[in-house]
Structures are given as C-alpha cells and as structure tokens.
Structure 1
C-alpha cells in the first residue's frame, strides 16, 4: 500500500531527566558562581585588620590583691603569606601598641613553611615591624610549629634582635605573675614538674603560654590562665563542618574543645586567639583574625 507510515510519537522526557537538565543548565552555574563569590570574600577578609577582643579575669591569689595587669595575646603572624605583608604587619603592630598593654605575649608561628629552606620562609620580614612593639613590662614569645619546622634558630635570632624575649620552657616574673613559656616541640611531658618548678620559685599565679592549646585539659591548680593560638579558630567556620582534622590525611590539627576564644574549665581560663595572620591557606570564611587584650585583676 502506498503512502507514508505514521511516525511513532516521541515520549515526553521523564521528570528526572528534566530535573537533570535544569540542574546542569541553571543550578550548577549558580552554585559555581556562589562558591567563587564566597571564596573571593574569604580571600579578602584575611587582609582585614584584626578584631581586638577584651576579657577580664579575676585571680584569687594573695599576690594579685590590689593588682591589675593587662596582657596582649597575639599569635600566628605567618609573615610572607597572602594575609601578612610587612606593611600589614606594621599596621597590626600599631594597633597592638594603641591598646597600651602592660606586656605583649606572642604565641608562635611567626613564619610560614613546612621544612628547612622552604621558599615560604621569610623571617627577614619580621624584624622591622616587631621591633616597634611597645610595652612597659616587655614583649615575650614562644615558638610555633612552623617556626620549629623551618629554622627556629633563625626565627629566635630575629626576635631577640627586635628586643623580644623568647621563652623556651622558661619563666619570668611579670609584675604580680609568673609568665611561663612552653616550647611545644620538646618532650616536656617527661620533665613537666621541672619546667613548672622554674615558675613556682618566682611566686605569684602562673600564666602559661604555648603555641597550641595542648595543656587545656591538664592545667595544674596554680596555673589559672593558659594563652595559646595555632587553631586560627578553624579558619573555615561553617555549621556542621569540622576543621579539627586534616581533610587530606585525617590527622588531628587541634582539640575541638579549644578551637577558639575564651574557654573556662573549672578555675582555669584558656584563651585561644584566631591569630593575626592565616598561614598558607588563604581563606577565612566565618572567622576573623584577632588578638586578645586580657586584664588580670585580684579581689
């Protein structure tokens, strides 16, 4: 029989196929744009001036009666990184000085880098700005993991030339308190009593400083205050997302109980600053760089 046969009707696309095309054409480009905008924002935020946070701690020890001492807690400078040029460090130093602290405590990670001769290591950028720090009772420092992994001798030399006292498991009398600086990377657990003894002979309440807040759960009764950095407050703070472990190899980066801020545990006060820089990862999302002004008073 001559004539064209009727064409078979084309079935309508399934709902799932239609949804897939919609996602591919509209939603995925929008999500990509949103991710780009958030990343750009985080890249910019890292260069903002740090937030100055304030706290007062009352210590019930005889040496503190009628006393008042203000410490600036500053950490994680990471000079030479995206967020910390020498010019920005100069501005950060001016901001710290403007708070008029009695003493300044620098809790490590002055540089970037993961190994000796790392191209990210630029200690020469520290000396000029840090030499302009001013506090009547002095400026004190401990080493951080990046300092120890690259060249702690070179970092210490730059700090000392800038007039900063580096505390390597050592203590100094600071007004009514004993300031005890821990080197995070010695086997100090084998000689903790010896290290603490150096502070106890000085008298007064002991304020300890270390780079990472490793002692948070084990502070002895006569160490009412711990000062630390290292965590960057997680740097990325999104509900439901933890940055306490490395997304690459799963290793623990910090104790999530001491991620950020002032953590009160019984009679102890643990301060963990977000740091004034951000290291080799150039984004901050949901966090800000900061430093703390901590006033210690007696009853």
Structure 2
C-alpha cells in the first residue's frame, strides 16, 4: 500500500528531526563534555603477574585544559574523583594542555601541571608526556628536540616523569616495574594523505625495556596506543590515552579515531596474543581533527585493579 504524506506532515517530520538533531548537538557540546564525569573500572590479572600482588591504579589522560570543558574547577573535580578511589598509584598519561602560555579559554601547561602536582598516592604520582606537550611548544618544534616546557615543569615541581624510564616499586614486599615512553609523534616533519602526518618520535622502547633488570611484572605507560603491536610480551599491561575514544562513539564504533589502526585501539580493554592494553577515553576535548564534542564517551577517570 502506498501512503501519501501531506506537506504539513513532511514539515512536522522535518521539524522533529531538526529538534532531535539540535538536542543531540546541545548534549554533545554542553552536557557530556562539561557536566558528566565517569569512572571506568577494570579488574584483571594479566599474564606474568606476581601472585598476591594487588594494585589499584587511577589514571588521568588527555585533560586538554580549557574553559569550560576542562577548566580549573573541572580539573579539581577530576582530581578529587581520582583521590576518592584510594589508589596505590596515580598515573598521568599526557596531553595536559595545548598552550605554553594561557590564551583565551585555553589553560597553559603551567596552570594544568601545577594543579596536578597536588595529587598524592602511596606509591607516587607518575606521568608521561603526550603529543600536545611537543606540538604546542614552538621552541621544541623549531629545535627538533626537547626539553619541552612540560619537561621543565615536571622537574621544577618535583614530579615523577617517566620519559623513556622504568622504575622498580614494591607493595607488600612484592616488586613490579612502572615504565613510561616518550611521545611517539613528538616532532612534526610533514604531512601525508590519510590519518596524521610524518613525525619523529621521542620514544625509546628498547632503551626503556633495557632498564628492567629482573622478572617482576611491568606496567607500561604509552600516550598513543599505536605502539601496542610492538610491545614485548614481557610487559604485563600497557596503558594509553590519545584517542579520546573518538569523542563520538556509538554502539562500540567511532567514526574518527586518531590512530593508524582506526577503531582497533580506540577505547577500552584490548587483548591480543595474551597481551593487555587499556585505552582511556580521556577527560578533555580537542578541535583539531576531532570536533570539540563528546557523545557516547563521557569524560572519565580510569580505575584499574590488578591482581
């Protein structure tokens, strides 16, 4: 049966769709990125994990400090949430801001990292740098090398920066290694078709692994998850950010993911060949490549219980 739709009916339907779209757009621009804050919880015992070693990690990634999405008060809220989880360690996975100096709505690296320096945990607060600590530091880009302003801030504030470093920690007499890589996209060299561009990384995976001197389990921080296929089996768990879960994620799929692997490492707990990766959806938003919205992937703190 053919059904004829009146002009009034068509106008009504179009108006309804427009209102629905406007409502979704308002939610994605205002509500989810500015008002929601989730805790994504994972519990696992990865391979090569020491029996009886129990660790709780609280992870903050991709703040991209800016008002109002992730301004001063929102960062305080994220910090309070992380502290409330009573973690053994707090890990910072990079992309703290997008400006060396504050500009308009954007916070500076100094503003954000100084705030984060107030975090406390029994086994310490440890960080790595992301691509924006490099990309938005014009002096480092011109020189083609670090240290960046973020490197200097971590040192000035007495914060632990695991930039191609591994440290041995213990809990209840049981040892483990915490390692962190330099950023994989540090220096911009040019552009190419498709995703991303041409970069020279500041990461040194072999050099970092060479610092591990016994068989205690290893937790690795790597800002971009794209290094995961090259991660040695020796690493029990890799922790990454960078993708923001695509910032728009529906039914487990994101239309835009800043990764050579697309949705393969966009978000969540990934297991490949008995190796484990957890990718945080992050806290902030960016407008380069991804629209400054969140839909289906609200800002999150990641809690990981190991053992």
What's the offset of the Cα at 1:191? 5.4
Judged with a 3 Å threshold, the aligned counterparts in structure 2 of structure 1 residues 77 and 263 are, in CA distance, closer, same or farther, namely: same
Which residues in structure 2 correspond to 1:200-279 (within 5 Å)? 200-201=212-213, 203-239=215-251, 242-244=254-256, 252=259, 255-279=262-286
Judged with a 3 Å threshold, the aligned counterparts in structure 2 of structure 1 residues 95 and 191 are, in CA distance, closer, same or farther, namely: closer
CA-to-partner distance for each residue in 1:42-100, whole Å, 9 max, x for gaps? 12111134211222222454x72322122112100111253111111111111111111
Contact 1:244 1:253 in 2 (8 A): no
Contact 1:233 1:260 in 2 (8 A): yes
**TM-score of the superposition, structure 1-length normalised?**
0.80
What's the offset of the Cα at 1:232? 0.9
Contact 2:78 2:301 in 1 (8 A): no
Aligned residue among 58, 63, 68 for 1:82: 68
Contact 1:117 1:150 in 2 (8 A): no
Matched, 1:195 2:208: yes
Secondary structure of the equivalent of 1:36?
Answer: helix
2:301 paired residue number: 291
Q: Which runs of 5+ in 1 are unaligned?
A: 1-14, 247-251
Taking CA–CA contacts closer than 8 Å with sequence separation of 6 or more, which of the two structures ends up with the larger relative contact order? 1
Q: Which runs of 5+ in 2 are unaligned?
A: 138-146, 187-199
Q: How many residues align?
A: 273
| Max Rg structure | 1
Which residues in structure 2 correspond to 1:1-299 (within 5 Å)? 21=7, 25-42=11-28, 43-61=30-48, 64-112=50-98, 119=103, 120=106, 122-151=108-137, 153-175=148-170, 176-185=175-184, 192-198=205-211, 200-201=212-213, 203-239=215-251, 242-244=254-256, 252=259, 255-280=262-287, 281-297=291-307
Secondary structure of the equivalent of 2:304?
Answer: strand
**TM-score of the superposition, structure 2-length normalised?**
0.78
